């Protein structure tokens, strides 16, 4: 696996895990077995956001297993909008959507927010449906 350049966030980079702890926390939060993944890439092939991601969903799983904590800095986990396409198609029946949520939760539970919703203009605020705001807050603030 080639080394990829991931964006660096000061606060997120401060999160430290001992060996194997990251995978364990992801498994605890998601209730999914990461080690069941055999890297077929079906999740990445069907992901509607894959073009904009820095790590593909199957790479995210590999990074967690290999204890590469920079995965928490990747754009991928914040791009996932929980459409469940990957979870539906996974031949190993792993709910990747839940794994992405677990990685977001690891960051959010350490009181690091990822939303700039307050910068939305008034005109936009009046037009955008509430469900968009509530889901954004749930996903990016916790």
CA distances from 116 to 17, 37, 121, 122, 133 (A): 28, 34, 11, 14, 11
Residue 88 in contact with another protein, rule: CB under 8 A: yes
Residue 49 in contact with another protein, rule: CB under 8 A: yes
Residue 42 in contact with another protein, rule: CB under 8 A: no
Q: Among the candidate windows 6-14, 33-41, 61-69, 121-129, which touches another protein by CB under 8 A?
A: 121-129
The structure tokens listed for 51 are 């073009």
Provide, rounded to whole angstroms, the least separation between the CB of residue 82 and another protein. Answer: 6
Three-state secondary structure call for residue 33? coil
Residue 33 in contact with another protein, rule: CB under 8 A: no
Provide, rounded to whole angstroms, the least separation between the CB of residue 139 and another protein. Answer: 7
Looking up tokens 């069941």, which residue turns up? 36
Of 12, 30, 72, 90, the one binding another protein (CB under 8 A) is 30
The tally of CA atoms less than 13 A away on the side-chain side of residue 37 is: 29
Residue 112 in contact with another protein, rule: CB under 8 A: no
What are the residues whose beta carbons fall under 8 Å from the beta carbon of 128, sequence distance 6 or more? 120
What is the DSSP-derived secondary structure letter of residue 141? T
Provide, rounded to whole angstroms, the least separation between the CB of residue 130 and another protein. Answer: 4
C-alpha 19/C-alpha 34 separation (Å) is: 16
> Interface residues with another protein (CB under 8 A)?
28-31, 48-49, 52, 79, 81-85, 87-88, 97-98, 101-102, 105, 115-117, 120, 124, 127-136, 138-139
């Amino acid at each position: 696996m080639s080394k990829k350049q991931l964006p660096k966030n000061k606060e997120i980079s401060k999160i430290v895990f001992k060996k194997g702890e990251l995978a364990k926390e992801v498994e605890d939060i998601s209730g999914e077995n990461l080690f069941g993944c055999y890297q077929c890439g079906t999740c990445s092939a069907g992901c509607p956001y894959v073009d904009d991601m820095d790590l593909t969903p199957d790479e995210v799983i590999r990074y967690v297993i290999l204890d590469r904590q920079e995965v928490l800095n990747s754009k991928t986990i914040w791009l996932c909008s929980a459409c469940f396409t990957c979870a539906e198609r996974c031949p190993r029946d792993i709910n990747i959507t839940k794994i992405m949520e677990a990685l977001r939760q690891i960051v959010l539970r350490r009181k690091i927010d990822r939303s700039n919703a307050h910068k939305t203009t008034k005109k936009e605020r009046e037009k955008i449906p509430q469900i968009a705001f509530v889901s954004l807050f749930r996903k990016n603030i916790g």
